A and B are shown apart, each in its own frame.
Chain A
């Protein structure tokens, strides 16, 4: 089995929670309340700004230009996400310049700190965060209406473009760990899944310092 599949298999016990998370389902059926919506925009905005630094850091330690090319392909769509959040926030009168919850700060810092643990480990974390997003949002794509306020987000994170990029990342994982993932790669992959779940729960339930 390839390294990317081994990582997914190892963390598969968490996957039912990814696919059934109440936050994702509330977004898809349009039942998310206004406060949670504002928390989501604030959290995702703060997260994305830090995530971009993480992606850029990963490019600086990429071992080959192929790796750097594939990872860098994620930057423009990332910029698109940031701009989408800004536009939506303006339209709905949401102030993005407020302090996000502790999970957002902790999770984005965790990704950043992995850059010190070497390329393979940080790449495993990137793959994990993207895979959770894609699978989570894909699981509700069929149920969401085009008229749903949140459709642009669901559409972006379950798009074919996004799927292709993640497939590219999985090939980088497989090439960087031809003998299978190291223990730190398994740990980082699993922790990112758990942080993503806490991130959604924090937005949905409302998390304070």
Chain B
């Protein structure tokens, strides 16, 4: 019996998944113990990431195979505006410059998202699912402990909300539909790379990274 392409990808990457949901950056954000300098780095780098991600998602809408898939993907664009505004408000109150040069991992990761569009819709929608599922699962893992306790709650709430969960589930259904026979080797590789990039992204904002 088929378990669905999205589930098959998750099962293959299970060892990495454990590192995502227990990542020290996520844990420290959840319990509020995160060094404020690391949070500042995250704000700046994630702002760059979301700008790159929006271009990627728009490109994916452009290569969607049918209007239904395009509907689902395009629905992900509007919440990004609210995320960007959240970043900009928070950055302004912390007097952070959002226009500086990103860290190498941020630039490499966003470029990887973008470059996956050239590998076709199947691979690119896999990349999207990897990035979004990683974010949802990690923040959902600390949600219960963070409410009313972490100063970073608005961010945790955003990526562990029911609305975000619904979007990630809709992307999983697109993935199942586009690869009914299960993931191809190219899809498995892309999914795995995204999870690894996500882990590196958190490592880099947590510890700081230079060129």
A contacts, CB < 8 Å to B: 50, 53, 57, 102-103, 105-110, 112-113, 116, 191, 194-195, 197-198, 209
What separation, in Å, do the CA atoms of A93 and B118 have in the docked complex?
32
Check B104 against A113 for contact (C-beta < 8 Å).
Answer: no
Contact of B211 among A109, A194, A209 (CB under 8 A): A194
Check A195 against B200 for contact (C-beta < 8 Å).
Answer: no
User: What 0/1 pattern do residues 87 to 108 of B give for CB contact below 8 A with A?
Assistant: 0000000000000000011011
Check A209 against B108 for contact (C-beta < 8 Å).
Answer: no
Residue among A102, A105, A109 with the most chain B CB within 10 A?
A109
Listed by A's residue number, 29 A-B pairs whose Cβ atoms lie within 8 Å are A57-B118, A102-B108, A102-B196, A102-B197, A103-B104, A105-B108, A105-B112, A106-B105, A106-B107, A106-B108, A106-B109, A106-B112, A108-B115, A109-B108, A109-B112, A109-B115, A110-B107, A112-B111, A112-B114, A112-B115, A113-B114, A113-B115, A116-B55, A191-B107, A194-B104, A195-B104, A195-B108, A209-B199, A209-B200
Residues on the B chain within 8 Å of A194, using CB: 104, 211
- Tell me whether B59 is interfacial, beta carbon within 8 Å: yes
- Tell me whether B23 is interfacial, beta carbon within 8 Å: no
Check B111 against A113 for contact (C-beta < 8 Å).
Answer: yes
What separation, in Å, do the CA atoms of A108 and B111 have in the docked complex?
8
Q: Which residue of A lies closest to B59 (CB)?
A: A116
What separation, in Å, do the CA atoms of A106 and B194 have in the docked complex?
11
A121 CB → nearest B CB, Å: 13
Q: Which residue of B lies closest to A209 (CB)?
A: B196
What separation, in Å, do the CA atoms of A24 and B39 have in the docked complex?
37
Residues on the A chain within 8 Å of B55, using CB: 116
Q: Which residue of A lies closest to B199 (CB)?
A: A209
- Interface residues of A: mostly helix, strand, loop or mixed? helix
- Tell me whether B193 is interfacial, beta carbon within 8 Å: yes
What separation, in Å, do the CA atoms of A110 and B105 have in the docked complex?
11
What separation, in Å, do the CA atoms of A108 and B109 have in the docked complex?
11
What separation, in Å, do the CA atoms of A109 and B55 have in the docked complex?
14
What separation, in Å, do the CA atoms of A108 and B197 have in the docked complex?
14
Q: Which residue of B lies closest to A190 (CB)?
A: B101
Q: Which residue of A lies closest to B193 (CB)?
A: A105
Beyond A105-B197, A109-B112, A112-B111: 7 further Cβ-contacts under 8 Å?
A50-B115, A102-B200, A106-B197, A108-B115, A109-B116, A110-B115, A195-B104
What separation, in Å, do the CA atoms of A96 and B114 have in the docked complex?
25
User: What 0/1 pattern do residues 183 to 211 of B give for CB contact below 8 A with A?
Assistant: 00000000001001101100000000001
Residues on the A chain within 8 Å of B200, using CB: 102, 209
Which 6 A/B pairs are nearest by Cβ-Cβ distance?
A: A106-B108, A109-B115, A112-B115, A113-B114, A110-B111, A109-B111
Check B114 against A109 for contact (C-beta < 8 Å).
Answer: yes
Check B108 against A110 for contact (C-beta < 8 Å).
Answer: yes
Check B108 against A112 for contact (C-beta < 8 Å).
Answer: no
Residue among B118, B193, B197 with the most chain A CB within 10 A?
B118
A45 CB → nearest B CB, Å: 16
Residues on the B chain within 8 Å of A106, using CB: 104-105, 107-109, 111-112, 197
